[in-house]
Chain A
Amino acid sequence: MSGPESVATRYTPGPWVGMATARMWLIADLDQHDPVVTTCWELVSATATVDQVLAVLSRQRPTHVPNVAVARRGDAGTEIVVLGQAQADVTGDASAESEVLQLRAGHGQVADATVESFQAISLRLAGHAPHGEESTVSLSLVSGVVPAAVITVDAVSGTALVPAPVATAMESAPADPPVQASAPAALPIEVSYPGGLSAAEPEPAAGAVPEPGPAPMTVPESEPGGRFDAFFGKTVHSTAEQAQAEAVPDEWMAGMRPPGGPLPDATLLPPHTTGDQWQPEQHRVVEHRAVQTPYRQPAPAATPAVGADLFADVSWADITDEPRPSDDPYPIHPAGPAGVARPMAAMPQFVAPSAPATGGIDPELLSTTRRAPSTPPPTGPMVVTVSCGLSHLNPPSAMHCRICGGAIASQTPQSRPRPRLGVLRLSTGEVVSLDRGVIVGRAPGAPDDFGPEAPYRIQLPSPDASISRRHVEVVLQGWTVTVVDLQSTNGTQLAAPGGVAEQLPPGGRRTIDDGWRVNLDAATWFQYEVIE
């Protein structure tokens, strides 16, 4: 063992979640607000095994296994695993810098390798072009979690890293498999690549690769079989050379559908092109992955840039260059001018049709598989908020919490889904939650049209019919609660707490605060109360 044991980690800011420590690096298309990010970081920061990290990521979301690239320095070298549509580029030691191992798995699959030493490792997700093309920003990262597009790990001072003994609190026995002596005749990388490659044993391919350097990348000779079967099914081992020679990228980017080939119904068959390699009991996981990709439609002639294939035509540069303000947990993405959607899910996947979608869709694609949520619920109105010490949301101007009265520290306001603004307590005792507006009257009826913000309709009895059918509306606008008289026959009365009642004329409006009472007639009223 010689050479420095330190590395320099850099990252290109981007939409995914990147993590780094001195021994472990990861990039995944997790939602940055997903609690699994915290769990994952706990593992990464404790230098858990790659298996442990992947298990958490896949167990957490069995219906939406994220795409992940992860590298970990251990006793047996540096282990690199990519899961799904991710990629790792591993540069060998300095004397063979041109020798780059590109590790790719493909949709719903796993590839892994272990190298004894490396000069640089770059982890990214599929479709993200090599650094420098769309973003030249590269920031230093010692340890932590960042919104990233690429994670790059460089051996310091040009010397290839050799394995460093690592104390791993969470590592489970048995320990990492031992590193075998390098096999000099072939690029001695073992890659799992199940995507239609031969299942034949790796064979030496003398002369087919560049002359190996003095410290070639090496891997265990025999990977324990079935290690990643729990994620996506059995992997097929092949040589790195085969993996690189295979014309993978087009198909990979196009969603695993062989050009012109039949498309299996995702609900009937194991997806992808090589169904016979899949174990039946793995269908459930895999079928969820299959829904999003095989979507084709004719490219409208008017907008040739917006086209047919999901991944092939998404403008990755557009998406990764999109500012992603970290202080806005639920950003709203308007459609771009070319119709490219910027979905809130981590993987940009969709090209919005600019022509009717009917007619161009393979009916086989009407799959009914389901995926669990990967994003926080973003529906409903957004408001700018500050938080008190108890995390109650408040208007940015608030000095004291509207719920608990606690002081509100100076902070950067954040845009969030509006919390309910309180309740209306009816004179009969029930409460109506102000998560949306309310129309109150003697016979307000049902709405003709519903929708995310359709006001509640509350019917209050009026034996003498002095309350109008639709008498008064409570309108929520941002943080403001306003009472609007709906041209009622007899008008509405308002009273602040301890104040004198004032008459709201038909059609009149008035903003109210905590404790205000609204009278529809002498015996019928409701009161606005600010509670959580």
Chain B
Amino acid sequence: MISVRVGTATDCGNVRRINEDASFTSSHLFAVADGMGGHAAGDVASAIAVARLARLAQRAHLQPGDVRTEVTECNREILAAAAADQTRSGMGTTLAGVGVTRLGGTDHWVVFNVGDSRVYRFTDGSLVQVTVDHSEVAELVAAGTIRADEAHLHPKRNVITRVLGMRPDPAPDLWVFPLTPGERFVICTDGLSSELTDDQIARVLYAEPTAPSAAQQLVAQAVAAGGRDNVTVVVVDHLIAAADGLDEDTLQRSRATGATA
């Protein structure tokens, strides 16, 4: 099993009265959820989502397909909870996270998201956004209608196109790739990404040596920058690589198998 160090921080922000974000961490599954809608039932929706992930984390061998299935079931649970209680009608939540999955005998990351909560990957001082927001602005950027640097000022930046709690069941986007030693993941609600630029986030990640200090510092800066929304950040540091020998040259099969060509 891989070795990780995890830091989590959250803040209600300067405007909201309640924190509708939720987060979940275990040894191999990490996620945030940003609840919304209904009459203050957003926190119920995000709590359902992380409870679902907690169940998923108990599974012995997490497969990427399990994430997809769990997201669908989570969506139905939220819809059912909303239908059962009118005060929760219309509630929903984003979900974004990183888990460890075993494929072909090797550990891989599976990154997933529904909505506009994000997963970033930070390696060698460079920050890359793994997930693609399910928002109208992200689609406008993808279509080339607006530039990426215009997106966070756009009036529709908060209109999300997929969320847990909608019909039909939203599919999560998944990314699967092998582990790399020394990489760091940031999983965050849009309370972080709407307050800090990627460059500001990267500076904090570069400066803060540990996952807990990085998470706390990111949340603190997002609140200082305005804190207009709940902010939740999970930082995952991948400490030790699982496999060795990956950098050796590929051998000619005749040599590798000992046959004489």
Say whether A and B bind each other: yes
The B-contacting residues of A in range 411-456, CB under 8 angstroms, are 426-428, 430-433, 435, 442-452, 454, 456
| Contact in complex: A447, B177 (CB < 8 Å) | yes
Which of A35, A61, A431, A442 contacts B246 (CB under 8 A)?
A442
The A-contacting residues of B in range 233-248, CB under 8 angstroms, are 243, 245-248
Chain B residues, Cβ within 8 Å of A378: 139, 161
Chain A residues, Cβ within 8 Å of B125: none
The segment out of A181-189, A204-212, A345-353 that lies at the interface is A345-353
Which of B68, B150, B177 contacts A433 (CB under 8 A)?
B68
| Contact in complex: A426, B103 (CB < 8 Å) | yes
Given A357-B154, A372-B37, A461-B105 contact (CB < 8 Å): yes
A365 to B161, CA, bound (A): 21
| Contact in complex: A450, B15 (CB < 8 Å) | no
| Contact in complex: B158, A267 (CB < 8 Å) | no
| Contact in complex: A465, B248 (CB < 8 Å) | yes
Asked if A70 is an interface residue, CB under 8 A from chain B, the answer is no
How many inter-chain contacts with C-beta < 8 Å in the A-B complex? 238
| Contact in complex: A430, B63 (CB < 8 Å) | yes
Asked if A60 is an interface residue, CB under 8 A from chain B, the answer is yes
| Contact in complex: A457, B250 (CB < 8 Å) | no
- Nearest neighbor of A64 in chain B, beta-carbon distance: B159
| Contact in complex: B247, A366 (CB < 8 Å) | no
| Contact in complex: A433, B128 (CB < 8 Å) | no
A444 to B104, CA, bound (A): 13
| Contact in complex: B253, A490 (CB < 8 Å) | yes
| Contact in complex: A445, B128 (CB < 8 Å) | no
Which of A349, A370, A443 contacts B247 (CB under 8 A)?
A443
A459 to B107, CA, bound (A): 8
A35 to B86, CA, bound (A): 19
Among B89, B132, B155, B190, the most chain A Cβ lie within 10 Å of the Cβ of: B155
The A-contacting residues of B in range 95-130, CB under 8 angstroms, are 102-106, 108-109, 121, 123, 128-130
Q: How large is the interface on B (under 10, 10 to 19, 20 to 34, 35 or more residues)?
A: 35 or more
- Nearest neighbor of B120 in chain A, beta-carbon distance: A450
Asked if A140 is an interface residue, CB under 8 A from chain B, the answer is no
| Contact in complex: B104, A284 (CB < 8 Å) | no
Chain A residues, Cβ within 8 Å of B159: 291-292, 345, 371, 373-374
Given A445-B180, A447-B177, A465-B251, A379-B132 contact (CB < 8 Å): yes
Chain B residues, Cβ within 8 Å of A59: 86, 89-90
| Contact in complex: B90, A464 (CB < 8 Å) | no
| Contact in complex: B171, A456 (CB < 8 Å) | no
Which of B65, B160, B257 contacts A466 (CB under 8 A)?
B257
B27 to chain A, nearest CB (A): 20
A307 to B13, CA, bound (A): 34
Given A335-B145, A353-B150, A371-B160, A63-B177 contact (CB < 8 Å): no
| Chain B 13-28 near chain A by CB (<8 Å), digits 1 or 0 | 1011000000000000
- Nearest neighbor of A489 in chain B, beta-carbon distance: B250
| Contact in complex: B161, A446 (CB < 8 Å) | no
Chain B residues, Cβ within 8 Å of A449: 128
Q: Is the interface of B mostly helix, strand, loop or mixed?
A: loop
Chain B residues, Cβ within 8 Å of A148: none
The A-contacting residues of B in range 28-63, CB under 8 angstroms, are 34, 36-40, 63
Chain B residues, Cβ within 8 Å of A366: 153, 194, 226, 228
A291 to B158, CA, bound (A): 8
Among B16, B176, B249, the most chain A Cβ lie within 10 Å of the Cβ of: B176
Asked if A19 is an interface residue, CB under 8 A from chain B, the answer is no
A19 to B257, CA, bound (A): 72
Asked if B142 is an interface residue, CB under 8 A from chain A, the answer is yes
| Contact in complex: B253, A466 (CB < 8 Å) | yes
B129 to chain A, nearest CB (A): 7
Asked if A293 is an interface residue, CB under 8 A from chain B, the answer is yes
A440 to B145, CA, bound (A): 34
| Contact in complex: A466, B175 (CB < 8 Å) | no
Asked if B165 is an interface residue, CB under 8 A from chain A, the answer is yes
| Contact in complex: B155, A60 (CB < 8 Å) | no
Q: Which 3 A-B pairs have the closest CB atoms?
A: A368-B229, A295-B155, A368-B228
27 A-B residue pairs with Cβ-Cβ distance under 8 Å, sorted by A, are: A35-B167, A61-B90, A294-B155, A295-B155, A333-B143, A334-B143, A335-B143, A341-B146, A350-B155, A372-B90, A372-B166, A379-B132, A428-B103, A430-B63, A431-B63, A443-B178, A444-B177, A445-B177, A445-B178, A450-B132, A460-B106, A461-B243, A465-B251, A466-B250, A466-B252, A466-B257, A490-B253
Known: A291-B158, A349-B156, A490-B253. 9 other contacts (CB 8 A): A61-B90, A334-B143, A344-B136, A373-B134, A445-B180, A456-B176, A459-B178, A466-B253, A489-B253
